[in-house]
């Protein structure tokens, strides 16, 4: 176990996969100088410009090239800088990467990892602060991953690079400096949730940075006598139905909290699935349907806070 940051864990994951598999290449804007968050630091020096490829500023061209490389037998890691910029390459993601295996009867595979840092980026306003995981979960053919810790960012990124299908990999924009222990031998399969805290009164499900908020809320709820089963979903698609249903069957109450806008968020899918299968009280908690403001006061209105999470849990208990 080595203490490292979320960004350092990502660099180590890519380094190990590039060493293990010569088909793995990295491409995107600024990857040669380490990426805007340091998530590729030192990789071009180690592997050269032919495997860590700086590209022009065109997300459509970057993603289209990545899809072509994948179909030709490479395993590209495609950097979109932030998910908001990936919208310029949506046709290549939605109509090419996601559908190729189906349209051609499995003759073509797209083992591509599209890294799309997600979530509210402090003081960066509406065009740089979106959480769009539900968009990609809605698309058949895509795997969607949202790691919340340095360990998961190492293990899940390696699993994503080993996956034979396109993976939308959504690291949170403000977690890069988060430090934690990392075991570089630990394998975490895609689609497996993690139970971070055990309790008998309430199941609380989240992912990404919001897991940190929920963990703080659990401490406050414990002081009120409410013990929580905290589940980090980790993979949005496929999501770990078994883990969530097992917990809800025991607690009888489910709260799903996410940073994304509540309207049509992925939390709705989880609570609907649980409500259809169990006699369980359910509630979802997400951001209001507003753009994220630039000023701190407006930005705070778009966040799902510890206080809001505690309040929602208490209401559900009542």
pLDDT tens digits, residue range 140-152? Answer: 999 999 999 999 9
Q: What is the structure's pLDDT at 75? A: 98
Return d(Cα 258, Cα 204) in angstroms, integer.
Answer: 11
Q: Any bridge partners for residue 202, and if so which?
A: 228
Phi and psi, residue 297, nearest 5°: -65, -45
* Residues 292 and 309: beta-carbon distance below 8 Å: no
Residue ranges in the chain modelled with pLDDT below 70 = none
Candidates 141, 131, 309, 146; CA nearest to 233 is: 146
How far is the C-alpha of 141 from the C-alpha of 98, rounded, in Å? Answer: 4
CB neighbours of residue 223 within 10 Å: 8
3-state secondary structure of 171: coil
Residue 238: what pLDDT?
A: 97
Q: What whole-number distance in Å separates Cα of residue 204 and Cα of residue 232? A: 9
Q: What fold characterizes domain 2-182?
A: Rossmann fold (3.40.50)
* Catalytic residue flag (residue 138): no
Note the pLDDT of residue 97: 97
Torsion of CA 42, 45, 51, 56, to 10 degrees: 80
pLDDT at 80: 96
Q: Which residue spans of the chain are classified as CATH 3.40.50.970?
A: 2-182
Burial class of residue 16 (count of CB atoms within 10 Å of its CB; 0-12, 13-18, 19+): middle
CATH of span 194-317: 3.40.50.920
Beta-carbon contacts of residue 11 (< 8 Å; ≥ 6 apart): 38, 39, 40, 41, 42, 43
Residues of the chain with CATH 3.40.50.920: 194-317
Catalytic member of 16, 128, 138, 258: 128
Structure confidence by residue, pLDDT tens digits, 155-176: 999 999 999 999 999 999 999 9
In this structure, what are the phi and psi dihedrals at residue 247, rounded to the nearest 5 degrees? -65, -45
């Amino acid at each position: 176990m080595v203490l490292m940051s979320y960004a350092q864990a990502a660099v180590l994951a890519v380094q190990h996969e590039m060493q293990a598999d010569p088909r793995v290449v990295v491409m995107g804007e600024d990857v040669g100088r380490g990426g805007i968050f340091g998530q590729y630091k030192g990789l071009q020096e180690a592997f050269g410009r032919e495997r860590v490829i700086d590209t022009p500023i065109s997300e459509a061209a970057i993603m289209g090239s990545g899809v072509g490389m994948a179909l030709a037998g490479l395993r590209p890691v495609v950097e979109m800088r932030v998910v908001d910029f990936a919208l310029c390459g949506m046709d290549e993601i939605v109509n090419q990467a996601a559908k190729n295996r189906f349209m051609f009867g499995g003759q073509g595979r797209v083992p591509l990892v599209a890294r799309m840092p997600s979530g509210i980026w402090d003081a960066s306003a509406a065009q740089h602060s979106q959480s769009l995981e539900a968009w990609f979960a809605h698309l058949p053919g895509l795997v969607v991953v949202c790691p919340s810790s340095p360990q998961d960012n190492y293990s899940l990124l390696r699993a994503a690079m080993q996956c034979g299908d396109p993976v939308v990999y959504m690291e949170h924009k403000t977690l890069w400096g988060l430090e934690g222990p990392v075991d570089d031998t630990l394998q975490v399969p895609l689609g497996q949730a993690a139970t971070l805290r055990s309790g008998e009164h309430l199941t609380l499900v989240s992912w990404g940075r919001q897991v940190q908020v929920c963990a703080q809320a659990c401490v406050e709820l414990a002081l009120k006598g409410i013990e929580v089963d905290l589940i980090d979903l980790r993979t949005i698609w496929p999501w770990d139905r078994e883990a969530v249903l097992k917990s809800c069957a025991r607690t009888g109450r489910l709260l799903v909290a996410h940073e994304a806008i509540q309207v049509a968020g992925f939390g709705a899918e989880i609570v609907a699935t649980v409500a259809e299968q169990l006699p369980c009280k359910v509630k979802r908690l997400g951001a209001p349907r507003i753009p994220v403001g630039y000023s701190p006061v407006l930005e705070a209105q778009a966040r799902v806070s510890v206080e809001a999470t505690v309040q929602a849990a208490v209401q559900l208990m009542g």
